Amino acid sequence: MEKYKTDYPIRKTNHCYDLDRCLLEWESIQHRLGDKLWDSDKEMGSGIYAQNRQTSVQRSTQNASDARSNHNVVNPYTDGLGMTKDMKNMDWRVNDGNYEFYQKRFRKKQSDYKILNEIYEGTVFDDVIRDVDGIRSRILVKKPYTSYAVHKDNSPRYHLALITNPNAYFIFPTLNEIIHIPDDGFLYEVDTTILHSFVNCGPERTHLIIAKPNSS
């Protein structure tokens, strides 16, 4: 398997950014928002599959209930994170299998998440999203020594590595490929519509992740 291939299914774009500025602005945003930034609470645990921490850079155009709680309050920094299968099953049970309510809760499309959260305005993150007309942007921290189940997404993703390590890899089993995205300031397009996983065999990895538009 090839470890550092950077074309298909991962393509290095021509978009390059000042990584030092990215990290300074990201540190400032974390300091200003604190715990409000993250998808964490007592009921749901911390992060998708308890292996990540993530936060929304863009929120939905729909003023609906926060998709990650039963409270009619929108937290713009968790609005675009979706739900795990376990969380959906729990929501179904809590609401007595009310199909209409369930459908209403999960009716948002990926393309609905296109409003930039105000704290990111004027930052390099604003520039990156504008450059690719991105939607449903998030910053995701992958915990050490964790991995995803093999899966497919409904659209490709752009990745900008903010903090990484040499032992953080995408795995594409049907292509027999293992690929690392370096923290070189370049934006990479990843074809996540094919079967893939991700494994972090080192310290925390932090990426800006942007959904490619024209997909729901």
Confirm whether 95 is domain-assigned. Answer: no
Predicted confidence (pLDDT) per residue in 54-75, tens digit: 999 999 887 544 444 444 447 8
Task: Inform me whether the pLDDT recorded for 9 exceeds 70.
Answer: yes
pLDDT of residue 82: 64
Please state, in angstroms and rounded to a whole number, the distance separating the CA atoms of residues 105 and 111.
Answer: 16
Position 78 in a domain: no
Tell me the sheet residues that pair with 198: 170
Note whether residue 100 is domain-resident.
no
* pLDDT score of 100 more than 90: no
Using the structure block, give the residue that is written with the tokens 């609005």: 79
Indicate whether 88 pLDDT > 90. no
Tell me the pLDDT band of 7, cut-offs 50, 70 and 90: low
**Helix or strand or coil: residue 126?**
helix
**Three-class secondary structure of residue 175 per DSSP:** coil
pLDDT at 66: 43
Rounded (5°) CA angle 102-108-112: 165
Q: What pLDDT shows up at residue 61?
A: 82
Q: Does 203 fall in a domain? A: yes
Q: With beta carbons less than 8 A apart as the criterion, state whether 143 and 51 touch.
A: yes
181 backbone φψ class: left, alpha, beta (φ>0; ψ -120 to 50): beta
- 9 neighbors 175 (Cβ within 8 angstroms): yes
- Residue 37, pLDDT above cutoff 60: yes
- CATH code for the domain of 186: 2.60.120.590
Q: 6 exposed, middle or buried (CB, 10 Å; 0-12, 13-18, 19+)?
A: middle
CA distance 128 to 19: 12
DSSP letter assigned to residue 110: G
- Find the mean pLDDT for residues 77-101: 57
28 is a domain residue: yes
Amino acid 75: pLDDT? 84
Alpha carbons 113 and 59: distance in angstroms, whole number: 5
- Does residue 96 form part of some domain? no
Q: Could you report the per-residue pLDDT of 131-162, keeping only the tens digit for each?
A: 999 999 999 999 999 998 999 999 999 999 99
Rg (CA), the chain: 17
Considering the domain boundaries, does residue 101 fall inside one? no
| Domains identified in the chain, total number | 1
For residue 52, the model assigns a pLDDT of 82
Residue 36 domain flag = yes
Inform me whether the pLDDT recorded for 44 exceeds 80.
no
**Residue 116: domain span:** 10-62+110-211
Q: Give pLDDT, residue 71.
A: 45
- Grade residue 50 by pLDDT with cuts at 50, 70 and 90: low
Burial of 80 (0-12, 13-18, 19+ CB in 10 A): buried
